[in-house]
Amino acid sequence: METAVYILTILNALGLLLLVTIIIILLLGVVKLLHIITTVAEIAEDSSKNILETIEEVRSKVVSPTAFAAIISAFIKRKTPSRKSSKK
Q: What is the pTM of this model?
A: 0.51
pLDDT of residue 39: 75
pLDDT in tens, 22-48: 999 999 988 888 887 787 777 767 666
pLDDT of residue 57: 73
CA dist list (Å): 43 to 6, 46, 72, 82: 56, 6, 10, 20
pLDDT in tens, 46-79: 666 666 777 777 777 766 667 667 766 776 776 6
Cβ atoms 68, 58 nearer than 8 A = yes
Of the chain, the percentage scoring pLDDT greater than 70 comes to: 64
Domain residue spans of the chain: 2-78
